[in-house]
Structure 1
Amino acid sequence: MNIQHDIQLQPYNSFKTKALAKLFAQPSTITELQEILSSYKTEKKLVIGSGCNLFFTRDFDGLIIKPEIHGIRVLEENADWVEIEAGAAEDWDNFVEFCVSRGYSGVENLSLIPGTVGAAPIQNIGAYGAEVKDVITYVKTVEASSGKIESFSNTACNFSYRNSIFKQTRKFVVTSSVF
């Protein structure tokens, strides 16, 4: 578990604003994420993806967690459909390109949306009449206070326009999504 101190946040937000994080972690596994959450229970926390919707106006006196859980894998495929899991840190548009280049339909209208796979269900991203809720089967998370792994079905995600249970409660760290 590597926790950095007094980290400049300029590289981690698209506006390139200058601010410091008291603590900064980039867990690359679910176990590392759970260890960090357990070890820093009393710290104020902010989970970030690629920083596309972040604008720091001051230093962050707490722990910033930037999950680096990568990977795209086909879980199951037949002639009619495919099920794909993508890690939270995967670039969203790279995931769309992965699907489109293999002839998997459903996410093509969501191309060129900035951000990560992990942020997509939090914000229920959308464009051109499509939203990520239309293609997500379930979302895997870690509950921040307990470290418990939880999966949410599409219905349990409580999706609405640019909203979800993850945004409403801010209690869960998305680790991957299944489409």
Structure 2
Amino acid sequence: MRFLKTVGAALVAAALVAAVPVPAAAASGDIAPGAWEPAPQEEFELPAGARCDFAVRSESIVDEVRKLTVSTYPDGSPERELYQGALIGRLTNLETGASTITDASGSARIEYGTDGSMTWYVTGPVLFGFRENGGTLPKGLYIIDGEYVVQFSPTGIKTLTMRHGTVHDLCADLA
């Protein structure tokens, strides 16, 4: 999914949200082309320095994430999708073995721009990764919780606008 590329490659392309084939009849307007479907989050490993000062691995313990494509562009690519469901994971420092359990079970509406940008409207906790000089937070892996918006530029730069909530640095937990 784009979501984890954002994390992995980061949650940078964040967004590992994979595109879903859409029937031609549903490829225009705000017609929901289908039902909720599973949207499993990919596990990932990042080398030292990519997000934390040490290598990390993220793996799912519970993954009940599902998505609904709400609207598509004429070519069938998603314009707007909804994501929800339980996502509990384990984040491990590969150098020391220290680990922490994460709850990234928030809900999101993701709007995709035709230029490769995307905007996430989120309620609840989600795991986001920021690379060095990659946005409004320092390099790291974070659980962001509350009500907020994350905008991704076409180059993967993330801008967090917090309505209310918290930002928790997972790299600090594992150091």
Query: Is the structural similarity TM-score above 0.5?
Result: no
Higher strand proportion, which one?
A: 2
